[in-house]
Amino acid sequence: MTDIMQSITERDPVEKEFHQAVDEVINSVKPVLDRHPEYRQAAVLARITEPERVILFRVPWMDDEEQVHVNRGFRVEMNSAIGPYKGGLRFHPSVNLGIMKFLAFEQVFKNALTTLAMGGGKGGSDFNPKGKSDSEMMRFCQSFMAELYRHIGPNTDVPAGDIGVGAREIGFLFGMYKKLKNEFTGVLTGKSLNWGGSLIRPEATGYGSVYFAVEMLAVKRQTLKGKTCLVSGSGNVAQYTTEKIIELGGKVLTLSDSSGYIYDEEGIDSEKLASIQKLKNIQRGRISEYADEYPNAVYTEAEPSPDYNPLWNHKADCAFPSATENEINKKDAQNLVKNGVKLVSEGANMPSTAEAVDIFLDKKLLYAPGKAANAGGVAVSGLEMAQNSMRLNWPMEEVDNRLKIIMRSIHKTCLDAAEEYGQPGNYVIGANIAGFVKVVNAMLDQGLV
Ligand code: NDP
């Protein structure tokens, strides 16, 4: 173990996901440090792994029965070397400081890869949105923003959505921010279209992950047409990943939520996807209901503590994990390889464990880590910020074209950096090195702050 890893694990021993994210980056950038002794002199690893600021706060709220509850709110402002902190808000019971730090750390590199001027941050709460009424959601969001508003701003820190935070929550959060600050600015992204949102923002993470897959396949002179795909999750990222795969002629066989997954041998077509979107976004139902509507599909309930996830144990060409972190373990990675999967594009953040990543690299899969493959979401958030500053709305084709160009550029940047450091085709090393060098050079330019 490196000295820096040892000191991080000793100081914050319970932050397992953060250790995992940092360890991967440190292993990737070792040759960069060997080539640049000035980076070691400037202790860049110790600096880049320590958040610039962590905000932790109480979020009291009242349910519909007038019972008071208290949740914990977080904002980790990780790095502002290349722009204002930028990164989503996650509302999920699993949220803790370690998860927030891992997500904020990943965000720093991801945002650097987009070529836009955005630093990295992440926030959220251990609040569980499942089963809450609209008014409970509103009261929670208002209470959350009643503290967070002091720390954010269009030139300081610009949050967005993530797990459990979609258009409805962004609306409630923005409304409270506007009331408290008495200003209408682009302080949040993922806003609705009629009050400052950008076309293609809801679609951007899923579309971007598929665009990245298209770029990887093009290197092998292949396309998505006719390819079978396993997709996990059924939220924002999974839905738009599915939409784009269908549009490009691929066939999506699976979708999931935390209760289980559906396998539809005939493929999820546009009509079936529309019904899932209604089920998930409006009725806020469970994916199991898909099998009631389409009896040819098979629903499998999730095990309480599974050794492996059966969703990843089907014959397919490609996998698009789009639910949550560490949803593909070593056994799942072995199953994917055994079942003929040749491409993995991560819509979720860090969905593969370190052991799973090793298997993908060892077996020479086309493997795109989340910080590259899912950067389309934050990239279009950056475009939303640009449109807000200019008080303009770009048409759909323009935003989509910019997204495609950005994903193509991230793909090339990763390949070039990997090639430069003698690891051709390794998107993990490429993404980590390219993001790291950009941020570290900016930090050094700005002195010891
Ligand atoms: P949503 O809340 O819209 O959907 C999340 C989906 O994943 C749901 O189907 C949810 O099921 C499932 N899920 C969540 N936690 C778990 C779990 N512990 N086990 C099994 N399934 C789970 O979130 P998003 O689609 O926005 O986010 C999905 C992933 O993509 C996350 O890793 C996020 O960080 C990442 N991401 C999102 C971006 C965005 O723009 N939204 C940008 C970049 C990355 P259930 O409803 O049962 O909880």
pLDDT digits (tens, 9 = 90+) for 74-113: 999 999 999 999 999 999 999 999 999 999 999 999 999 9
Distance 322 CA to ligand 1 centre (A): 6
Q: Decide whether any atom of ligand 1 lies within 6 Å of the 234 Cβ.
A: yes
Of 110, 122, 132, 251, the active-site residue reads: 122
Give the pLDDT score at 391. Answer: 94
Share of residues in the chain with pLDDT > 70 (%)? 100
Q: Decide whether any atom of ligand 1 lies within 6 Å of the 206 Cβ.
A: no
Give the pLDDT score at 2. Answer: 84
For the segment 209-234, what is each residue's pLDDT rounded down to a tens digit?
A: 999 999 999 999 999 999 999 999 99
Distance 304 CA to ligand 1 centre (A): 18
Give the pLDDT score at 305. Answer: 86
Q: Decide whether any atom of ligand 1 lies within 6 Å of the 124 Cβ.
A: no
CB–CB of 290/297 below 8 Å? yes
CATH (one of 3.40.190.10, 1.10.8.590, 3.40.50.10860, 3.40.47.10) for 51-184? 3.40.50.10860
Indicate the domain borders of the chain. 1-50, 51-184, 204-373
Nearest one of 77, 64, 89 to 144, comparing CA atoms: 89
Token pair 């820096």 in the structure block, residue: 4
Distance set, CA 291 to CA 250, 380, 435 (Å): 21, 34, 42
Q: Which of 76, 91, 163 to mutate to test the pocket of ligand 1 (most atoms within 8 A of CB)?
A: 163
Mean pLDDT over the full length of the chain:
97
Q: Decide whether any atom of ligand 1 lies within 6 Å of the 321 Cβ.
A: no
pLDDT-derived band at 114 (thresholds 50, 70, 90) equals very high
Q: What is the arithmetic mean of pLDDT over 163-169? A: 97
pLDDT-derived band at 1 (thresholds 50, 70, 90) equals confident
Q: Is the pTM of this model over 0.75?
A: yes
Give the pLDDT score at 409. Answer: 98
CATH of domain 204-373: 3.40.50.720
Nearest one of 103, 130, 113, 126 to 326, comparing CA atoms: 103
- Is 438 annotated in the active site? no
Within this chain, domains 51-184 and 204-373 share the same CATH topology:
yes
Give the pLDDT score at 335. Answer: 98
CB–CB of 111/120 below 8 Å? yes
Burial (CB count within 10 angstroms: exposed 0-12, middle 13-18, buried 19+), residue 267: middle
pLDDT-derived band at 174 (thresholds 50, 70, 90) equals very high
Q: Decide whether any atom of ligand 1 lies within 6 Å of the 200 Cβ.
A: no
- Reply yes or no on whether the pLDDT at 430 is more than 80: yes
Residue nearest to atom 29 of ligand 1 (CA): 348
pLDDT-derived band at 176 (thresholds 50, 70, 90) equals very high
Q: What is the arithmetic mean of pLDDT over 358-379? A: 98
Give the pLDDT score at 234. Answer: 98
In terms of DSSP bridges, do strands 85-91 and 157-160 run parallel, antiparallel, or are they unpaired?
Answer: parallel
For the segment 260-288, what is each residue's pLDDT rounded down to a tens digit?
A: 999 999 999 999 999 999 999 999 999 99
Atom of ligand 1 nearest to the CA of 166: 3
